[in-house]
Structure 1
Amino acid sequence: MAKILDRILLFIYSLSIGIISVIAILLLTNAVPVSLSSRDQNRLYIAVLVAAVLLFLFSIRFFYISIRRDRSSLPSIDQRTEFGDIQISVETIENLSYKAASRVRGVRDVKTRIRVSESGLEIHVRALVDGETAIPPLTEEVQKQVHDQVEEITGIPVSYVSVYIANLVQSPVIKSRVE
């Protein structure tokens, strides 16, 4: 929710700065002549003061966002043992999944994506295959290898492994020369 609010505030801030810049350029170049009564000048002064205070508050918020240390940018799975805390990055688990899937014969060009859920890790594997091995047993082997390897090495339960076969690897055509 805070990220959505920050995006809305950033949009309003950017739009306000843009409008104020255009108005300032128009007024400073005398493209728009201005003659205001004393009462209108007071109203304008109050409106400008309110806008300036709001923009200053937005600036403070965006400054805080830019300097704070965001732990959510480094996603990890946290575990507690009797000796202390353990953090395993999602990137580490992706690399383990990649390594396990790449070991299966017939699988090429593997990409993995991890999602953490209440029931455990959900691992999504995308791969190309060589086309020489039957796909159903190949995908089952990938699922088993990834599931077992990640659970064994990390100790984190894997609830789901999906395999998406994107395409076949195109083998280079070798043209024979006849002389």
Structure 2
Amino acid sequence: MIKILDRLLLFLYSVAIGAASIVAIIAASGGFSQSWMKEVVSDFSGEVKIVQASVIGAAILILLISLRFFILSVRRDGSSAPSINQRTDHGDIRISVETVENLALKAASRTRGVKDLRARVRVAESGLEILIRAFVDGEGSIPTLSEEMQRTVSQQIEEATGIPVAEVSVFIANVTHAPTTFKSRVE
């Protein structure tokens, strides 16, 4: 409910500031006659208390909305980390995307022949879409290794989180070179 109210306030604030900017541009470029401008200014400071009170009220309202948006922009929100939300019979469960990425890395690292791993998780309508970026040692078949990694990651994520995995994409970035060791020969 608060988010909807903040969006409505932001819309009204944007319209008010936009209208004030248009009036200021027209006034500064000579779009209003000087006699009319003097009359408006004298109305604000003169005898017409209704106009004066409404201008002060609008200014206070815009100031309060500005303060609200300033506080929202400065305040740190603990729930700002991206998460996957699930509703159960007992309540809500929130799992951070970072947690799912770490689970994917842990599962992918179980695949033999994988050296350096990175994971990226995206939440889609059909489930989680996981991208694994890996370096391999080049000792075995890359398609076999990739399929094993996809199967392991998918099973581990679904088992650990209960969230369906729509897709596990594996990107083999490069082949690592094992350091070669030379034995010195003594004669």
With the length of structure 1 as denominator, give the TM-score of the two structures. Answer: 0.64
The reply on whether 1:67 has 2:63 as its aligned counterpart is: no
The reply on whether 1:171 has 2:181 as its aligned counterpart is: no
Query: 1:7-49 CA distances to partner (integer Å, 9 max, x unpaired)?
Result: xx9xxxxxxxxxxxxxxxxxxxxxxxxxxxxx9xxxxxx9xxx
| 1:74-89 aligned within 5 A | 74-89=81-96
Q: Which has the larger radius of gyration?
A: 2
Match of 1:133 in 2: 140
Return 5+ residue gaps in structure 2 as ranges. 1-6, 15-33, 35-40, 42-58
Return 5+ residue gaps in structure 1 as ranges. 10-38, 40-45, 47-52
Change (3 A) 1:68 1:106: closer
What secondary structure does 2:108 align onto? helix
Shift of 1:176: 2.7
What secondary structure does 1:132 align onto? coil
Q: Percent identity?
A: 53
Match of 1:160 in 2: 167
RMSD: 2.8
Matched length: 132
Distance 2:112 2:185 in 1: 34
Match of 1:151 in 2: 158
Match of 1:115 in 2: 122
Distance 1:59 1:104 in 2: 54
Change (3 A) 1:57 1:177: farther
Shift of 1:134: 0.5
Match of 1:96 in 2: 103
Shift of 1:150: 0.3
With the length of structure 2 as denominator, give the TM-score of the two structures. Answer: 0.62
Distance 1:177 1:68 in 2: 61
| 1:28-39 aligned within 5 A | none
Shift of 1:175: 2.5
